[in-house]
């Protein structure tokens, strides 16, 4: 019996235009009526997730910032911060690399020091609270992660400069152009374990959907793990199942329907 469904956002629940399918709302309502909790787990900021699901904020679970900040029914359940001095060191290293933009992700706000229009347009998709500062190393906040935006692709470029820190920190490729650095124990999977324990939900009662490398631990801590058809090869390898449809074909909701978790007969594409 499924009691908890957790879906990644970009490349998974959302299409490539970062849009939520309009049928989501009625399907979530059916899940809720069947005592199944729906949650999203994303590298996005909590305030961004809350804004996207504002009508459900008092019952959904939000695994924000790759599991470093978890909120349920408007109450904070879990925070896994990044050491401030370490975060400042990553900022200083990032500044030495060409073509790199940086985001310092705090619990209260996200901070940037570059006003470039292209960067700003992209980053505003994921951060509702965003503040420009002259120097990221002077920010005082509870730091959740450092995000590197590499327009040339993080796997091919910037990851090679940060992978040496993997023994002491979590260095996760979150998307083609995003690299996220968090505390060593911070990931979506560990955050899900904390919530499972708190709500007395077993891994066998948990269904997850993901598409990229920052979803890896999440796939490993659920009894029912689905990689999206469009997922990174390593996520497909780590998952028990693969959706028949990709994120642009409403793959998450169609899979939920196919598992008979709801009564809705047809999900319009």
Q: Is 266 a member of any domain?
A: no
Question: Do residues 71 and 132 both lie within one domain?
Answer: no
Question: Do residues 93 and 74 both lie within one domain?
Answer: no
C-alpha–C-alpha distance, residues 135 and 7, integer Å: 35
Domain-terminating residue out of 183, 208, 228: 183
Question: Do residues 38 and 168 both lie within one domain?
Answer: no
pLDDT of residue 268: 47
What does the block give as tokens for 205?
């009662």
Q: Looking at the chain, which runs of residues are DSSP E strands? A: 4-7, 37-41, 61-64, 69-72, 75-79, 100-106, 110-112, 130-132, 143-150, 169-175, 178-183, 206-210, 224-227, 241-242
pLDDT of residue 265: 55
Question: Do residues 67 and 13 both lie within one domain?
Answer: yes
Question: Do residues 237 and 165 both lie within one domain?
Answer: no
Rg (CA), the chain: 18
Q: Is 147 a member of any domain?
A: yes
CB distance 203 to 184 below 8 Å: no
Angle formed at CA 132 by CA 129 and CA 181, multiple of 5 degrees: 70
What does the block give as tokens for 10?
């970009």
How many domains does one find in the chain?
Answer: 2
Burial class (CB in 10 A: 0-12, 13-18, 19+), 73: exposed
Question: Do residues 144 and 12 both lie within one domain?
Answer: no
Domain-terminating residue out of 150, 183, 216: 183
Range(s) of the domain holding residue 209: 4-79+186-258
C-alpha–C-alpha distance, residues 163 and 246, integer Å: 30
Domain-terminating residue out of 117, 150, 183: 183
- Domain with 167 in it: what CATH number? 3.30.1240.10
Question: Do residues 190 and 59 both lie within one domain?
Answer: yes
Residues 6+ apart with CB under 8 A from 64: 42, 44, 45, 46, 48, 49, 70, 71
pLDDT of residue 263: 73
What stretches in the chain show pLDDT beneath 50? 266-269
What does the block give as tokens for 119?
């960067």
Question: Do residues 47 and 176 both lie within one domain?
Answer: no
Q: Is 99 a member of any domain?
A: yes
Question: Do residues 126 and 73 both lie within one domain?
Answer: no
Question: Do residues 13 and 74 both lie within one domain?
Answer: yes
- Domain with 246 in it: what CATH number? 3.40.50.1000
pLDDT of residue 146: 98
């Amino acid at each position: 019996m499924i009691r908890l469904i957790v879906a990644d956002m970009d490349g998974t629940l959302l299409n490539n235009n970062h849009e939520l399918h309009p049928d989501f709302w009625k399907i979530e309502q059916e899940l809720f009526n069947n005592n199944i909790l729906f949650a999203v787990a994303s590298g996005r900021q909590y305030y961004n997730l809350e804004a996207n699901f504002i009508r459900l904020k008092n019952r959904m679970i939000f695994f924000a910032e790759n599991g470093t900040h978890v909120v349920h029914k408007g109450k904070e359940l879990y925070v896994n911060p990044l050491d401030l001095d370490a975060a400042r060191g990553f900022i200083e290293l990032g500044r030495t690399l060409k073509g790199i933009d940086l985001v310092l992700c705090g619990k209260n706000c996200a901070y940037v020091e570059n006003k470039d229009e292209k960067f700003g347009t992209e980053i505003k998709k994921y951060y509702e609270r965003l503040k420009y500062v002259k120097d990221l190393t002077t920010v005082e906040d509870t730091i959740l992660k450092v995000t590197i935006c590499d327009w040339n692709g993080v796997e091919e470029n910037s990851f090679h400069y940060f992978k040496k820190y993997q023994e002491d920190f979590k260095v996760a490729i979150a998307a083609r152009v995003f690299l996220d650095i968090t505390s060593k124990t911070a990931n979506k999977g560990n955050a899900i374990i904390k919530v499972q324990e708190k709500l007395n939900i077993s891994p066998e009662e948990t269904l997850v959907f993901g598409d990229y490398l920052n979803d890896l631990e999440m796939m490993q801590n659920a009894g029912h793990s689905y990689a999206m058809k469009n997922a990174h090869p390593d996520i497909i390898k780590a998952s028990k199942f693969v959706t028949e449809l990709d994120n642009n074909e409403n793959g998450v909701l169609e899979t939920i329907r196919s598992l008979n978790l709801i009564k809705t007969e047809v999900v319009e594409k």
